[in-house]
């Protein structure tokens, strides 16, 4: 279940109450008249089944409550209620498959900012990858993958593109376009220093890299792994399964490939440089393709449910139009609207 706390002026609060009471996916509605201060207004508390959380949030945004008041959302880990169980059974789909788009947008927005900590994590991850390459250590390579923050902006770009939030997509690209070159440059400089101090092991100097050689030698499996990892990564974000996301981070060699670019440049090994660059390009391409495709399918499924919901009579009780969005973003065929109204009048 998803818990909502709504603060709204009295008029908007009454409209929201009518909407929530008319929805079978909303339970445990509490109305506290005049309880809010700054802004002044009413407070409404309720629980919504996860499957319909974004749909209810869209209706509340149509009432412009986010402009005149606020809408807060939090996940309920445990709720013992027969009414809540009945509401979940009445809603189509499974809670674990439902996508709360507001949550996804909020989560990815935090990871798309070009901040000092983002750049620092990129540099540290690539330096760990550099050590893994020099020591031929798969453990350090895995560590570099986990530390690297690059999947956040990649996911942010996909989310922003699918939802047509172009500012988010641009921020994500800027973070990647700045973070990777800085990390590669830092790796290049540190490698030169280590090379000058003669610290790298002799085995690395002679090109013996049994366990990390794959980083600069992309093959068919590089495409397959990146495609699967991108799909799993987006699914883990939309379903809030963080454990699966850790597995994704360990599957993708973007950070090690970028580190290898810096190391190869320092050693003027241009064959290794090209191979690492190709590996990085393959990962970016397939991660983006998988993320965009997965999110597009999930978005289309949500839009289908949203269109069906626009015919719900509960919208009329809240002062919202039947068959179209008040914000003009979605319109249903007039014949379907007339049929829904006839069904409503027949049931009455």
Q: Kindly state whether residue 310 falls inside one of the protein's structural domains.
A: no
Check whether residue 164 and residue 253 sit in a common domain: yes
Confidence of residue 344 (pLDDT cuts 50, 70, 90): low
Q: Tell me the per-residue pLDDT of 212-234, one tens digit each, with 9 for 90 and over.
A: 888 888 889 889 988 988 888 88
* 218 phi-psi bin (left φ>0, alpha ψ -120 to 50, beta other): beta
Confidence of residue 250 (pLDDT cuts 50, 70, 90): low
Give the residue from 98, 132, 149 where a domain finishes: 98
Check whether residue 72 and residue 130 sit in a common domain: no
pLDDT of residue 269 exceeding 80? yes
pTM, entire model: 0.84
Check whether residue 70 and residue 150 sit in a common domain: no
Check whether residue 108 and residue 94 sit in a common domain: no
What's the total number of domains in the chain? Answer: 2
Any idea what the CATH number is for the domain that residue 47 is in?
A: 3.30.70
Q: d(Cα 74, Cα 81) in Å, to the nearest integer?
A: 18
Positive or negative, the CA dihedral 137, 139, 141, 144 is negative
Q: What is the pLDDT of residue 328?
A: 64
Q: What is the pLDDT of residue 199?
A: 92
Instruction: Find the domain containing 263 and state its range.
Output: 104-302
pLDDT of residue 72 exceeding 60? yes
Q: Kindly state whether residue 320 falls inside one of the protein's structural domains.
A: no
Average pLDDT over residues 159-172: 92
Check whether residue 91 and residue 187 sit in a common domain: no
Q: Choose between 293 and 326: higher pLDDT.
A: 293
Q: Kindly state whether residue 223 falls inside one of the protein's structural domains.
A: yes
Q: Kindly state whether residue 307 falls inside one of the protein's structural domains.
A: no
């Amino acid at each position: 279940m998803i818990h909502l706390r709504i603060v709204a002026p009295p008029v908007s609060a009454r409209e929201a109450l009518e909407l929530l009471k008319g929805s079978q996916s909303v339970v445990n509605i509490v109305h506290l008249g005049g309880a809010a201060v700054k802004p002044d207004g009413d407070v409404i508390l309720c629980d919504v089944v996860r499957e319909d959380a974004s749909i209810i949030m869209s209706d509340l945004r149509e009432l412009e409550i986010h402009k005149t008041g606020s809408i807060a959302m939090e996940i309920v880990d445990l709720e013992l209620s027969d009414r809540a169980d009945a509401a979940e059974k009445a809603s189509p789909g499974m809670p674990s498959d439902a996508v709360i788009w507001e949550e996804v947008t909020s989560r990815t927005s935090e990871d798309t900012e070009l901040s000092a900590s983002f750049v620092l994590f990129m540099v540290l991850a690539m330096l760990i990858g550099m050590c893994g390459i020099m020591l031929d250590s798969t453990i350090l390579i895995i560590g570099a993958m986990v530390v690297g923050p690059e999947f956040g902006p990649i996911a942010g770009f996909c989310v922003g593109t699918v939802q047509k939030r172009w500012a988010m997509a641009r921020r994500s690209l800027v973070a990647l376009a700045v973070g990777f070159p800085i990390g590669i440059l830092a790796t290049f400089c540190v490698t030169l220093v280590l090379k000058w101090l003669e610290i790298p092991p002799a085995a690395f100097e002679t090109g013996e890299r049994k366990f990390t050689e794959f980083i600069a030698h992309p093959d068919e499996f590089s495409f397959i792994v990146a495609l699967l990892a991108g799909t799993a990564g987006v699914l883990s974000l939309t379903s809030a399964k963080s454990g699966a996301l850790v597995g994704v981070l360990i599957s993708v060699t973007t950070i090690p490939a970028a580190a290898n670019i810096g190391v190869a440049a320092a050693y003027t090994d241009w064959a290794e440089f090209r191979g690492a660059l190709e590996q990085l390009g393959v990962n970016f391409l397939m991660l983006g393709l998988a993320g965009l495709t997965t999110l597009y399918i999930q978005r289309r499924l949500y839009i289908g449910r949203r269109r069906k919901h626009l015919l719900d009579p509960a919208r009329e009780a809240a002062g919202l139009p039947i068959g179209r969005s008040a914000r003009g973003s979605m319109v249903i065929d007039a014949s379907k609207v007339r049929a829904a109204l006839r069904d409503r009048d027949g049931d009455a």
